[in-house]
Structure 1
Amino acid sequence: MSKNLVIIGSGGDARETLEAVEAANQAGTADYKVLGFIVEARYGTPGALVSGLPILGDFDWFAGRAGEVVAVGAVGSPVLRYRLVERAARYNIEFGNVIHPGAVISSSVRLGWGVIVEAGCVLTSQVRLGDHTHVNLACSISHDTVLDDFATLSPGVHLAGRVRLGEGCFMGIGSVVIEGKQVGKWSVIGAGSVVIRDIPDRVTAVGVPTKIISSQPPANWITQSGEK
């Protein structure tokens, strides 16, 4: 039975997510009816079209629709995605997964909810993806690797076996983590960087090999400020 899906966000990630849904529907690996996009009021006018579908409104559109729709958070920033997903969850909205049929995923992979995996990705034995994780185009994730909730891979990221990415970690385009290393919660790894040693929580690290160049705000920064 077809499920009504609402995409949170209306930018490039949201449009790519819509295309992944359409591909999955066509391949028969999903059965979603996409109703449109939810955005904060300052970012879009209800009724305006994005890729042929309407902006439905702000988050109060979800009021009274629990059980009627599922949602997926389709914004690139894990910090912003955290905040927007939290707003949707206040309306008891459930979250669905969007898996492009061009992704190769082992039967032993375990997925949370609100997960997006784009085309060209390969996920091998015993990989685990937490809730609201994003795996962008052409990434590879090797055996026994774990992505905690809201962890985000930009296109072309490669994770060796037994890697652990903490909650909200952001991996820049083309970055690499060698086997058995960890990247801490809400840390940012720059584009093209190579992680060869563990990275602590809430730092930015760049380079080959990575070097820490800055620290992020304290542990409760998201809930205190509502944004990064």
Structure 2
Amino acid sequence: MKGRDGVGKNLIIIGCGGHSKVIVDIIEHMPQFRILGLIDDDPVRPSHFQGYPVLGDTASIKTIKEPVFGGIIGIGDNWSRKKVADVIKKSNPNFPFITIIHPTAYVSPRCHIGAGTAIMAGAIINSDVSIGEHCIVNTLGSVAHDCVIGDYSSVGPGAHLGGNVVIGDNSAVSLGARILHGRTIGDHTVVGAGATVTKDFGDLGVVYGAPAKWIRPRLQEETYL
């Protein structure tokens, strides 16, 4: 794999968890990049992860001796990913976050995908879609025409968005959920696994069911994975 040899521009991955394993796999299929190593703030972080060296914590980014073209945050939880991005942006304002796309994904040339976003294997992103920064469209997820997805939001494995759907910032559409054409989901809202969304929902909520119903409010920092 190109990610393991000397070819390509050096990238670092931030995070040594389950989601970062998938990020490693994607980058290994992108010949323009080479994985230099990983970064993790856990004081008991491993010395190596998925065959690559762990280079230190986020404060170590400035001290890496080899040139670093950019990086991506390999953390699945949206709010946790945002907190790490904020730390890096504060200490390294010019650090370039890169977008990665698995070669089996289809991404329309007429869409916009923000920096730091990951598009997983088999995902479909159709025409005139706008996806924000540090988002995730997971394995076999699909986003139909003219959708808008805010920063730090995620579309889970096998989840599907109809056309003209709007997803706010820091929201999650969980595994296998479906959102019908033209619906809106607010900020910091979690759509539960297998839900069918037939109406709009606002900010800071948990919704699930078929049809989906408002179940309870949630805090913006509340984990859901």
TM-score by length of 2: 0.90
* Other-structure match for 1:188: 190
Matches of 1:69 and 1:121 in 2, distance apart? 26
Secondary structure at the residue paired with 1:95? Answer: coil
2:94 aligned with 1:88: no
1:63 Cα offset (Å): 2.0
Residue type at the aligned position of 2:146: D
Whether the aligned pair in 1 keeps the contact of 2:11 and 2:68 (CA below 8 Å) is no
1:126 Cα offset (Å): 0.3
Instruction: Label 1:128 to 1:43 Cα distance change in 2 as closer, same or farther (>3 A).
Output: farther
Matches of 1:206 and 1:39 in 2, distance apart? 33
Whether the aligned pair in 1 keeps the contact of 2:28 and 2:34 (CA below 8 Å) is no
Whether the aligned pair in 1 keeps the contact of 2:12 and 2:68 (CA below 8 Å) is no
Whether the aligned pair in 1 keeps the contact of 2:98 and 2:117 (CA below 8 Å) is yes
1:42 Cα offset (Å): 3.0
Task: Give identity over the alignment, percent.
Answer: 29
1:185 Cα offset (Å): 0.3
Residue type at the aligned position of 1:84: V
Whether the aligned pair in 2 keeps the contact of 1:121 and 1:137 (CA below 8 Å) is yes
RMSD over aligned Cα atoms: 1.8
Which 5+ residue runs of structure 2 have no aligned equivalent?
1-6
1:215 Cα offset (Å): 0.7
Whether the aligned pair in 2 keeps the contact of 1:41 and 1:57 (CA below 8 Å) is no
Q: Which moved more, 1:66-75 or 1:89-98?
A: 66-75
Deviations 1:72-102 (A, max 9, x none): 0111100100001111112121100110010
Matches of 1:34 and 1:135 in 2, distance apart? 21
Q: For residues 64-213 of structure 1, what are the structure 2 equivalents within 5 Å?
A: 68-90=68-90, 91-92=92-93, 93-213=95-215
Residue type at the aligned position of 1:69: F
* Other-structure match for 1:60: 59
Whether the aligned pair in 1 keeps the contact of 2:150 and 2:167 (CA below 8 Å) is yes
1:137 Cα offset (Å): 0.1
* Other-structure match for 1:32: 33
2:10 aligned with 1:4: yes
Secondary structure at the residue paired with 2:146? Answer: coil
Residue type at the aligned position of 2:87: R
Q: Which moved more, 1:54-63 or 1:110-119?
A: 54-63
Residue type at the aligned position of 2:36: L
Matches of 1:10 and 1:134 in 2, distance apart? 17
2:24 aligned with 1:18: yes
Q: Which moved more, 1:67-76 or 1:170-179?
A: 67-76
Residue type at the aligned position of 1:89: K
* Other-structure match for 2:4: none
Residue type at the aligned position of 1:36: G
1:43 Cα offset (Å): 4.9
Secondary structure at the residue paired with 1:16? Answer: helix
Deviations 1:8-62 (A, max 9, x none): 111111011110111122xxxxx111111111133514xx111100111111111
* Other-structure match for 1:28: none
Instruction: Label 1:84 to 1:124 Cα distance change in 2 as closer, same or farther (>3 A).
Output: same
Matches of 1:63 and 1:87 in 2, distance apart? 13
1:64 Cα offset (Å): 5.0
TM-score by length of 1: 0.89
